[in-house]
Structure 1
C-alpha cells in the first residue's frame, strides 16, 4: 500500500526532472561552435537571452523591483513606457504575472545568496514550463492509469512549440500558457467529481484562482472559460442523445443540484466574474467577453490603416500546414510535427474512441437485463451479478461522458485556434495529449490482458523497439537491431507479471519517444538572440551618447536596444504593426540618402505626427505617403512649395505638416545596422516597397556566402575561388583572378548537374577595405554581386538588383561609400552604428 502511494510522487519527480533537464540543455548553446561560445555570453558567462521579448519582460521586472511600477513613469495615473515607441512612448498595458512571479523568486533566492536578476530570469521559464507535467499526469491518471498519465505529461510538456518558448534563456509569458489552463480545467473537473460539497467548493475556488492568475498572464484567458462553456453544452447534448442518467427529479431545484457540471459552471461564472470585476474592474471583464465574441483574442492582427500588416512576417503567427516533412518526427512547421509527430496525434484521436467505447461497454448490463428471462426464486439474473461486479455504473458512465465532452469541446476550439497561427499548436496539444494518455492507458492494459503467446509479445516488442529509436538519426540496420534487442529483453524475462509490465513500458516509450527526442534536438541546438558585437555596441551608445539620443533600426532588436543602451527606441516588438514599419523599411531600401535621413529625422523627432497630420488634410494615406516621400529629402522651403503648389495644401496646412516632417530642433539619433538584417531584407524591403494602391510590396533579398573561401585552383595565370551562397549548394559564385583583373559570375546548378553562369548586373569588389571595382556588367541581369576579399579569403553577397544602391547596402556592406548624409560612430563585429553627418 505504501509503495502504491509513493509511486505517483516518484513518477512526478522523474517527469519534472526530465522536462527540466531537456530545457536546461539550452544553457550549453549547442547551436554555436565551441570556439565561438564566449562571443554569445555576457560578462558573467551567462548566455544572452534567446529571444528579444525576453528583454522587454526583463526591463519591466527591473522597473518593478526598483520603482514599484512596470513602466518608466506614470502618465495620468497609467504606467507609461518612455523607452518604447519614442516619441511619445506608450502605455504599459501588459499582463503582469511574469513580472510579479519573477520579482518574488528574485527576492526569495536572494535571501540565500547574491543572484543577479538575469540569472533568475534566465532559468525561471524552464522551471515553470516543466511544472506542467504534474497536472497533466495527475489529470489523465485519474481517468486512465500511470502509463496514460506519463504519456499525457510528456506529449504536453514536450510539445515542440511549448518547449521552444520555455527552455532556459527564453524569458516570456509563454511559460504560463500550459500550466495554468491545465490547472484550471483539472480543478474544474475535480469539482464535478468530488464526493461532498466542501471538496467541490474547494476545487471550484482553486479553478477560479487558476483562471484569475492566467488572466494576469495572457489576454486570451477567457478562451478557456469558453472551453468549459462549450463542454457543458456538448455534455448535455450527448447526455440527452445517449440516454445517460434518465432519472426523474421532483423539482427543477433538485435537478439543478444533481447536475454538478452545470451548477459548478454557474458558480465559476458568478464567483469568478465577481472576483475579476473587483480586482480588475467590471469594464475589463465586459471587454474580455466582447473580444472573445469578436474573435480577436487569439490573434490580434487587425490592421486599422492602409499601411502594410507586419504580422504577416512573424513566423509563429503563420497558419501552419497539417503536415510537412517526415510525419513521424516533431517539427515547428506543421500541426503534426507541432504536437510531436503522427503517433501522438493518432493516439489523441483514438482516445476519443476509447471514451465512447467505455460508455457503450457500460450499457451492456442494461441490454442483458432486457433479454433476461424470469429466473426461479432465489436465483439472480446474469445482469444482477454483472451489476454487482461494476458498482456505480451510472456514475461511471457520467464520468466518461464528462471527459468525452470535455476532450471533444477542447479539441474543437483549440483546433480552430490553430487556424489562426502556429503558436496556438501548444494549446491544441493539451487536450490531444490528455486524450492520447487515455488511449495509451487502456491500450497497454489491453495488451497485458490479451497478449499471452510468445509470438504476439515478440511482435509488439519488435515494433516498439523500432519506434523508440526511430526519431534518432540512425541507420535502418540500427533500427531493426533495436527491435531485435527489445524482443530479446522481453523474452528473457521469465516472470509473466514482469514481462507484461516491461511490454507496457516499451509501448509507452514508443509513443513518447518522438516528442522527447524532438525536444532534446531543439534545446541542444539553441543560439542566443544576440552576441557581444551587438551588446558592446549598445554599451558604447549608453556611455557615449546623450540621454535623449533615439536608437533606430528594424524592429526585431528594439527591446534589446532599450535595455542595453538605456535609450528610447522608435520601433520594437510592441510597435511592429504600425506605419513605422513602412517608413523604416523605406529608409533602408531607398537609394536617396537625403530621403533616408529625412525619414529618420522625422521619426526620431516627431514620431507619427507628420503623416497623421497630413492624413487629416488628404483623407488619403496613399497620397500622404506620396507627398512625404517627395518632400522629406528636400529642404524645408522647397518642401513647403511642393506641398502648396503641386498638392494644393494651404499655407497653414503645409506649415502644420512641416513642423513635424522638417523639425527645427532635431533629436539626435543613431541608426544600428547589423548582419542579421541581411537575412531579414526580404521583409524590410517588402514593407519599404509597399504600393498603397495595389496593397502589396516586393521581396528583395541578399544571399551571402555560407563561409569564406580561399583560392582553390591554379590554372596557368588564372586563380579560381568558389563560394557557396545557398544551403542546398545549388547557388554560388565563381571568382577568377588573373594578374590585376578580377571577374566574378553567379553559378546556378541545375537538377541534372549542369551549371549555368549568370553575369551580375553590377559587380562590386572590395579588396583590403577598398572598393576597387563598382561597375555595371550586364544591364539585363536581375542580380548584383559584391565580392569582399580580406587576408586571402573571399566572401560574396548576391543581391536583387533593387538592393545594389539601397542605403543598407551603402552603409552596411560598402561602409558608407559614396554618401555624405551619415557618419560612422562605432563598429563591432557584425554591427555598425551610424548617425546624422
Structure 2
C-alpha cells in the first residue's frame, strides 16, 4: 500500500495538479483498508532494518561519522589517530560493554547530556537557579542542538559545542573566584580544555577570539566610565591591541572556514566542493530566524538588551562576554550555517535570563494584587507555563527537522556492495565514487577512494564528474586511469601506469544529484583563474587583462561568461519516476506512457511519441522518435521502473552505466548491484584497462579538457 502512495508522488511527464488529486484519492482509499495499521507497522520495521548491520546494530548517520569510526578502528590496529574524537570512541568501547560502532552511535547523546548540565551550571552562575533550569531546557529541546546530539551522528559537532560550553564555564569560574587557589585550579582546567578542543577541531580558537574581544571591550568600557585623566591613552592602547588580535586571527586559518562563501576560492583552480556543503551555506535573515526560532531569538535579544543595561550601570566582564558571544556568533552565522551549533549556546542562556526575570515577576504578581498564594505552588506552575511556551515555539521546527531519514547515508545496499569489493578486489584497488560517500566505502570496503568528505575540493572530483558526463568511452577511461594513477594535478600520466583493480560506483543517489555532477564537470578554468583579478575592474580594463592572458581566445565572450556566472545548479537532466510500470502481454504501462512492444512505440496519451530504451535481462529494445527526452524503462529485480533523460545526455557514461549496466561499453563490466526497498540502488562496475586503444594514454589533463570542450 505504501507503494500505491509513492506511485502517485511523481511522474516526470504528468500534470502536478492531477498528481495531487490522484494521491489524495489513493491515500483515502488505503486508509479505509482493514489491515492499514499492520501494513504500516511492517513497512516501518522493514525500513528500520535497512539501517542495521548483520549484528542488528544501527549504522551511523551522515558521511563524516565514518571518518572518525575508521580512525577509531585504526587505533585498534596499532595506528595513531592523531585526533581526540576517534580516541574517545575507541577507549570508550574498551570500557563500555559495546562494540566500536555502538559506542560511536551513543556517544553524541552522552556529550549532549554533559553539555546541558554545563549550561545549567553556567547560567546559574551568571544569574540564578531558574535561569540555569530554563537554559538547560531550551538547549535540550532546540532543533539545532538535537541535530548535533542525534544518535549515530558521531561527528565532532557535538564535541565542539561541548568544549565551547566547558571553556566558557571555566572562564567564568576563573574570573568569578575570589580565592587564588580556585583561580589556579580553574585556570589549569581551562588550559587543558583548550588543548583538548584543539585536538578536536582545527578552528578551536574562535572561542578564544571571543574571550579576547570581550576582555578588550570590557577594559575599554571600564576606562570610558572612569574619571582618570589617562583613560584615553589606555583606551587607545586597548584599541590597538584589539586590532592586532583581529589581524592575527585573520592571518591564521581561524576564520578561513567561516569566510569560505565570501570569496571565489578554489583548490588549484579546481571546483570548490565546499560550495555544495549545506553546513557551509550562507543564510538569509528569514532562514536564520526560522532555524533559531523567532520567539527564542526575540527573548534572547531582550536578555542581551537587559545585560547591556546592567553593564551601563556597572561594568562587569561576565555580561560583556555574554553579549559579545551572542552578537559575534549572530553575525558570523549568516556566513556559515554550521556556526548555528555554537550560537545556540548564548541564545539559550540569554533567553533563559529573560525568562527567569519573567518568572520572578510571575511569582511576585499575586502579592501585587494582594493574593495569598504559597510560593511552593506558584513556582512549579509558572515553570510549567514557560516550559510549555518554549515547547510549542520549537515544536514546528523539531517536526520539520525530524521528518524522514534523508541524512542516513549508510544502508544495507552500501554494506553489500562494499562487501563485494572487499572480497573480489585486491588490497590496492581504487574505488571511484562521488565524494559524499567516500568515507563509507573507505570504511566498509577497506579500499582507497578517489575523494571523500575531507577532499571534496580535490581535482579528482572534477575529473570524475568529467568522466561521468563524457560521451566518448575511450576518453572517459583515460580520465579514470589518470585519476586512479593519482596524477590529476595537470601532470603527464605515465603510459605504464597499471592499477590492479578499479571500481566505479553509480547509484540513484548520484542520479538524483546529477545537477551537481553537471555543475562540477562544466567548470571553466579560465573563469577560476581570472575572476579574482578582474571582478572589481571595469569592463575595458578587465577585457585587456583577458586578452593578455588568452590572446587567441575571444576576450569579450570570456568576460561576458564571467559576469553571468551563477552559483545556481543547472536543471536536472535525469528524472526517475516513483511510479512503477506494469507489463501486460506485449505492452508496458508506465503511468500515462504506453510502450507497444509489437510496434516498438512509446506513446504519451494517444498521439505524442517518445524515444525510448527498454532494458531487460536479455536485450535492449529502443526507438528514436526524435523527442527531446528519452524514456528509459528498466528492471530493479521484479519491479519495472522508468526515467526521463534529456536526449543530449543519454549517451553519457553516467546514464549508460546506471540504466544500461554497461552492456554497450567495452571497458566496463557489472561487478555487483543492490536495489533493496527503502535503500539506495547501487551498481558497481569493473574498469577494464587491458583493452587496446587507438589514442595515446599520455595526454595531459589540460589536453583532455581542451578536447572535451571543443567536441561539446
Q: TM-score range by the shorter chain?
A: 0.7 to 0.9
**Partner Cα separation in structure 1 for residue 610 and residue 274 of structure 2:** 33
> How far apart, in 1, do the equivalents of 2:227 and 2:182 lie?
25
Q: 383, 386, 405: which is aligned to 1:526?
A: 405
Q: Is the 8 A contact 2:595 2:603 kept in 1?
A: no
Pair 1:46 & 2:57 matched? yes
Q: Which of these residues, 313, 317, 326, is aligned with residue 411 of structure 1?
A: 326
**Is the 1:306–1:692 contact (alpha carbons within 8 Å) kept by the matching residues of 2?**
yes
Structure 1 Cα separation of the partners of residues 118 and 493 of structure 2:
60
Decide whether the 8 Å contact of 1:63 with 1:69 is kept in 2: yes
Q: Quick one: structure 1 residues 703 and 519, their matched pair in 2 at CA, closer, same or farther if it must change by over 3 Å?
A: same
Q: CA RMSD in A?
A: 3.6
Partner of 2:598: 740
Of the candidates 278, 303, 309, which is equivalent to residue 351 of structure 1?
A: 303
Answering whether residue 466 of structure 2 is matched by residue 612 of structure 1, we say no
Provide the rounded CA distance (Å) in 1 between the counterparts of 2:493 and 2:423.
Answer: 33
1 CA distance for matches of 2:330 and 2:583? 54
Equivalent position SS for 2:624: strand
1:36 alignment counterpart: 47
Q: How far apart are the structure 1 equivalents of 2:460 and 2:571?
A: 18
Cα distance change, pair 758–338 in 1 and its aligned pair in 2 (3 A): farther
Match of 2:252 in 1: 291
Matched, 1:63 2:68: no
* Aligned-partner Cα distance in 1 for 2:607–2:100: 54
Larger Rg: 1
- Report the equivalent of 1:464: none
Q: Secondary structure at the match of 2:478?
A: helix
The 8 Å contact of residues 667 and 687 in structure 2, kept in 1 or not, is answered as yes
Shift of 1:746: 7.1
* 1:120/1:497 CA distance change after superposition, 3 Å: closer
User: What residue number does 1:498 align with?
Assistant: 377
Indicate if the aligned counterparts of 1:761 and 1:801 stay in contact, CA closer than 8 A: no
Q: In the alignment, is the contact (CA less than 8 A) between 2:485 and 2:493 conserved in 1? A: no
> Does structure 2 conserve the Cα–Cα contact (< 8 Å) formed by 1:348 and 1:433?
yes
Instruction: Name which of 74, 81, 86 aligns with 1:99.
Output: 86
SS of residue in 2 equivalent to 1:832: strand
Is 2:37 the partner of 1:122? no
CA distance in 1, matches of 2:409, 2:380: 45
* Structure-2 separation of matches of 1:31 and 1:124: 30
CA-to-partner distance for each residue in 1:224-276, whole Å, 9 max, x for gaps? 111011111222233344x3xx5889x99xxx9xxxxx9xxx9xxxxxx9xxx
Give the superposition deviation at 1:106: 1.7
Task: Provide, for residues 809-835 of structure 1, a one-character-per-residue CA deviation record: whole Å limited to 9, x for no partner.
Answer: 101112223222211122222221111
Pair 539,207 (structure 1): closer, same or farther in 2 beyond 3 Å: same
Give the corresponding residue for 1:835. Answer: 686
**Cα distance change on mapping 1:739 and 1:550 into 2, 3 Å:** closer
SS state at 1:52 partner: coil
Residues 1:451 and 1:834: Cα distance change in structure 2 (over 3 Å):
same
Work out whether residues 448 and 504 of structure 1, in 8 Å CA contact, stay in contact via their aligned partners in 2. Answer: no
2: CA distance, partners of 1:680 / 1:792: 25
User: Within 5 A, what are the aligned runs for 1:647-658?
Assistant: 657-658=492-493
Question: What residue is the counterpart of 1:314 in the other structure?
Answer: 277
**Closer/same/farther in 2, CA of residues 433 and 553 from structure 1, 3 Å limit:** same
Distance change in 2, residues 1:318/1:773 (3 Å): same
Question: What corresponds to 2:290 in structure 1?
Answer: 337
State the distance in 1 between where 2:631 and 2:113 align.
48
Partner of residue 143, structure 1: 126
**8 Å CA contact retained: 2:580, 2:590:** no
8 A Cα contact 1:762 1:776, kept in partner: yes
| Separation in structure 2 between the aligned mates of residue 209 and residue 440 of structure 1, nearest angstrom | 33
1:771 counterpart = 2:650: no
Deviation at 1:147, TM superposition (A): 3.2
Measured after TM superposition, the shift of residue 31 of structure 1 is 14
Shift of 1:514: 3.6
Deviation of 1:512 (Å): 4.2
Q: Tell me, in whole angstroms, the C-alpha distance in 2 between the residues paired with 1:516 and 1:773.
A: 52
Distance in 2, matches of 1:663 and 1:185, equals: 58
Give distance in 1, aligned partners of 2:579 and 2:593: 15
Match of 2:700 in 1: none
* Corresponding residue for residue 597 of structure 1: 477
Give the aligned partner of residue 476 of structure 1: none
Are 2:505 and 1:672 equivalent residues in the alignment? yes
**C-alpha separation in 1, matches of 2:367 and 2:129:** 22
Match of 1:546 among 394, 406, 426: 426
- 1:621-642 per-position Cα deviation (integer Å, ceiling 9, x unaligned): xxxxxxxxxxxxxxxxxxxxxx
> In the alignment, which residue of structure 2 is the partner of 1:305?
268
CA-to-aligned-CA distance 1:189-218 (integer Å, 9 cap, x gap): 121121222222222222222111111111
Quote the offset at 1:711 in angstroms. 8.2
Q: 2:666 aligns with which of 787, 800, 820?
A: 820
> What secondary structure is seen at the aligned counterpart in 2 of 1:48?
coil
Hey, what's the Cα distance between the residues in 2 that align with 1:429 and 1:764? Answer: 52
Gaps of 5+ in 1: 1-29, 71-93, 257-261, 267-272, 274-285, 324-333, 364-396, 458-492, 614-656, 723-733, 748-756
Give the match for residue 576 of structure 2. 704
Tell me if the contact between 1:31 and 1:525 (Cα under 8 Å) persists in the aligned partners. no
* Contact 2:267–2:457, Cα closer than 8 Å, also in 1: no
TM-score, scaled to structure 1: 0.64
Q: Is the 8 A contact 1:144 1:438 kept in 2?
A: yes
Task: Give the aligned partner of residue 644 of structure 2.
Answer: 798
Superposed, 1:209-248 pairs within 5 Å as: 209-241=192-224, 243=225, 246=226
Q: Secondary structure at the match of 1:40?
A: coil
Per the alignment, in what secondary structure is the counterpart of residue 645 of structure 2? strand
